[in-house]
Amino acid sequence: MHREITMPVFDLTGKTAIVTGGTKGLGFGIAATYARFGANVVITARTASEVDAAAMHINEVYITESNKCLGVTADSGKQRDVDKVVSSSIEAFGKIDILVNNAGVSGKTAAILSDECSEENFDLVISTNLKGVFLLTKAVVKQMAKQGSGGKVINISSLGGLVGGKGLVAYGASKAGVISFTKTMANEFARYGVTVNAICPGYVITPLNEEVFSDEDIRKKMEARTALRRLGCIEEVAGPALAMASDCFGYMTGTYLLLDGGQTIGG
C-alpha cells in the first residue's frame, strides 16, 4: 500500500528571514525573493542610505499584503551590531526562522608576497566574511533554540573556497572557513532542529562586477572555464536559496551546493 506523497512548496509565509549584505547583488536578490514568497525580511548592510533605499524598494515591489521588509544598518563583524540586528528582528516580527549569511568583501587582488597583500586587508576580509558568520549565527541560533521550532541557516560561501584562486588568499581562506563552519555548526545545532548549509556560487553577474564582465575578453575567458559556456545570474542563486529556506531541503544539513556552471568538472 503506497502512502500519499505530498511535496513541500516554496512558501515562506509567516517566516522571518535575516539576510546580511541584503542591499545589493546576491543578498538583495535573495531578500527580494524571500519577500515575494511571503517572508518578513530583515536586510542588513553597513551603509545606512543603501539599507534604507533597498528596504524601501523591497517594500514597494516585492512585499505581499501580509509581510514586510525591515532595514537595519549593521556590521556583522561587530558584536554590538549583531545584537542590534537580532533585537530589531524580534521587536519587529517576534521570531527568527531563517538566517542568510551573505555579507562579504573580496579584498584586494594581490599575490601573497606583494605589499598590497597586507595584514589590514587580510583582517578586513576575515572579519567580514568569517567572523561575521560566526557572530551572527551564534546569536540567531540562540534565539532559534529559545523558540523551539527549528530554523534554517544558509551561508553564502564561494567557488573560491574550494579552489585556489591566484591573488585572493584572504578571500579564499575566508570562504573555505565558511564551509568548515557550516559542517561544524550543522553538527552542533541539529539538536535544536536547525539545519545549516552553504551555497558556493561561481561566476555570477551582479552590479558589483558588471563593469569587469563588460570587458568582452574577460567575459569570454570566464565563460570558457564553465561547461555551460556562460556566466550565472542572481536568480540562479536566489532560487536555490529559496529552496533551502523552504521545507524542500528539510533533510539536508552540513553540506554545500555548488553553483558554478560546471567549472569544477573541467568543462
pLDDT digits (tens, 9 = 90+) for 28-39: 999 999 999 999
Which one of 34, 171, 174, 246 is the catalytic residue? 171
Report d(CA 42, CA 19) in Å as an integer: 6
pTM of the predicted structure, to 2 decimals: 0.94
Q: pLDDT tens, 202-255?
A: 999 988 788 888 889 989 998 999 999 999 999 999 999 999 999 999 999 999
Which one of 34, 175, 203, 246 is the catalytic residue? 175
3-state secondary structure of 18: strand
Give the dihedral of Cα atoms 48, 51, 52, 57; nearest 10 deg: 160
Phi-psi region of 237 (alpha: psi -120 to 50; beta: other; left: phi over 0): alpha
Do residues 72 and 43 lie in contact, with contact meaning Cβ atoms separated by under 8 Å? yes
Q: pLDDT tens, 122-136?
A: 899 999 999 999 999
Which one of 157, 158, 174, 246 is the catalytic residue? 157
157 in active site: yes
Whole-number percent of the chain with pLDDT over 70: 100
Q: What pLDDT is attached to residue 9? A: 79
Q: What pLDDT is attached to residue 267? A: 62
CATH of domain 16-204+233-259: 3.40.50.720
Q: What pLDDT is attached to residue 110? A: 77
256 in active site: no
Mean pLDDT computed over 115-127: 89
Residue of 9, 71, 7, 67 lying closest to 38 (CA atoms): 67
Mean pLDDT computed over 150-162: 95
Give the dihedral of Cα atoms 267, 204, 209, 28; nearest 10 deg: -170
Q: Estimate the share of the chain in helix, then strand, then coil, as percent rounded to the nearest 5.
A: 50, 15, 35
